[in-house]
Amino acid sequence: MTQREFMLDLPLSPVPKHEVLDTGAAVLRGHAAMQATDMLAGIKQIARLSPFRRMTTAGGGMMSVAMTCCGAAGWCSDARGHRYETHDPMTGQSWPALPTAWRAWATDAARLAGYDGFAPDTCLINGYRPGARMGLHQDDDERTDAPVVSVSFGLPAMFQWGGLQRTDPVRRIPLLHGDVVVWGGLSRLVFHGIAALRAGQHPVTGPCRYNLTFRRVW
DNA sequence: TAGTTACA
DNA sequence: GAGC
């Protein structure tokens, strides 16, 4: 049972570096619940090849979220900044393949949210433990003509959805196991993040939250 | 600035 | 929350 629960509209003001038309993010409550078992098993497989690791940011800080990737491109950050890499710097190998079934599923989820023809070439996998957080940022490293499809599993998290300026007011949206958020166009440049994860126990993931984001990089 | 810390 |  899928539904677009709500649309978040943005102010039409400053238009940064990209030409854009649409302005919202859609939340599909529980849309990935049926995929949980399969996707979590897939994550385990992927992590055997490219383990979860905590990356460093340009400022020298260490991220609290543990990450890995699959697909043609992997998001990497170190003291020099962040970019996409074709190979996992930790192993020297290509990133694990993006499972075919995941790709098809993400295409469908994007379509439900109003984005036809989404063909992701990567999936970033984030692992959250209690206290882990994702600071406010924009998704401006990928192709701007494709949406981002974000899937949540495990412990609840508080999604922060701000505006085009870092200092814009932030809306807080709880994301639960199986929830999917889709955004594209102008909303790629909306500052967003995840508040520090509250400790807890989830029947499927235990003390963790996992987030998958499907993207088109190349 | 996908970061942490200091201070009002 | 603002500033770096």
Q: Which chain C positions have some atom within 7 A of a protein CB?
A: 1-3
Q: Is the pLDDT of residue A79 over 70?
A: yes
Confidence at residue A23, expressed as pLDDT on a 0 to 100 scale: 56
- Cα A182 to Cα A80: distance, rounded to the nearest angstrom: 29
Is there contact between A65 and strand B, defined as CB under 7 Å from any strand atom?
yes
Q: Is the pLDDT of residue A7 over 80?
A: no
CA of A149 to C1' of C1 (A): 30
Mean of the per-residue pLDDT values of chain A: 89
Residue reference for tokens 């677009």 = A4
The residue type of A122 is T
Is there contact between A167 and strand C, defined as CB under 7 Å from any strand atom?
yes
Q: Is the pLDDT of residue A160 over 80?
A: yes
Paired tokens of A218 = 């190349």
Is there contact between A144 and strand B, defined as CB under 7 Å from any strand atom?
no
Is there contact between A14 and strand C, defined as CB under 7 Å from any strand atom?
no
Task: Check whether A116 is labelled as a binding-site residue.
Answer: no
Q: Which chain B positions have some atom within 7 A of a protein CB?
A: 1-4
Q: Is the pLDDT of residue A20 over 80?
A: no
- A3-7+17-215: CATH homologous superfamily? Alpha-ketoglutarate-dependent dioxygenase AlkB-like (2.60.120.590)
Task: Check whether A137 is labelled as a binding-site residue.
Answer: yes
CA of A58 to C1' of C4 (A): 13
The sheet that has A25-28: what strands, in order across it?
A4-7, A25-28, A180-183, A148-154, A209-215, A122-128, A62-71, A53-56
Average pLDDT (A49-64) is 92
Is there contact between A200 and strand B, defined as CB under 7 Å from any strand atom?
no
Directed axis angle between helix A100-112 and helix A36-49, to 10°?
Answer: 130
Instruction: Give the list of residues 6+ apart from residue A199 with CB closer than 8 angstroms, or none.
Output: A130, A131, A207
On whether the CB atoms of residues A69 and A95 are closer than 8 A, the answer is yes
Task: Check whether A18 is labelled as a binding-site residue.
Answer: no
